[in-house]
């Protein structure tokens, strides 16, 4: 996967997230870690409220993970809509990735270069690049 200069890579799991930016170019990417913004998970019930009172209620932990994904997606939406992110790659475990997709604004889909269904939280930039090259 080619990463244009300035592309943002969001690494997300059920509890944490990290942002990287390509400070290099497409030929020689150089991922630099960005400060992780604070997000408000309390305003997100996960999946846009799809967790109703049914026999298959998710655990409190799963609801927390869904709220985290919703809050991250909301932050990404704001950044894309505000033209602060022009190219985006999202890397997350499959379930978290699915939850993020429920919350993406239409504009996010337009700047999304790709998604990788892996948990790479805490990995070094070189490992992230290797995963992107394998995509």
Residues of the chain where predicted confidence (pLDDT) is lower than 50: 46-55
Decide: 47 and 23 in contact? Cβ < 8 Å.
no
- Tally of CB atoms within 10 A around 71: 20
pLDDT of residue 99: 94
pLDDT of residue 54: 39
- Tally of CB atoms within 10 A around 94: 11
Decide: 27 and 35 in contact? Cβ < 8 Å.
no
pLDDT of residue 47: 46
Specify the fold of 8-33+58-133.
Nucleotidyltransferase; domain 5 (3.30.420)
The CA distance from 8 to 4, in Å, is 9
pTM (predicted TM-score): 0.85
| Residue pLDDT, tens place only, 18-42 | 999 999 999 999 999 999 998 987 7
Domain spans in the chain, listed from the N-terminal domain onward: 8-33+58-133
pLDDT of residue 59: 78
């Amino acid at each position: 996967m080619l990463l244009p200069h300035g592309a943002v890579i969001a690494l997300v799991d059920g509890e944490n997230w990290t942002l990287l930016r390509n400070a290099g170019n497409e030929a020689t990417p150089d991922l630099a870690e960005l400060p992780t913004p604070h997000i408000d998970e309390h305003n997100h019930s996960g999946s846009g409220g799809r967790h109703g009172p049914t026999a298959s209620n998710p655990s409190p932990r799963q609801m927390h993970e869904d709220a985290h994904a919703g809050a991250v997606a909301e932050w990404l939406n704001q950044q894309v809509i505000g033209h602060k992110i022009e190219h985006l790659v999202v890397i997350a475990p499959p379930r978290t990735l699915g939850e993020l997709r429920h919350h993406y604004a239409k504009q996010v889909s337009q700047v999304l270069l790709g998604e990788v269904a892996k948990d790479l939280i805490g990995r070094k930039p070189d490992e992230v690049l290797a995963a992107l090259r394998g995509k």
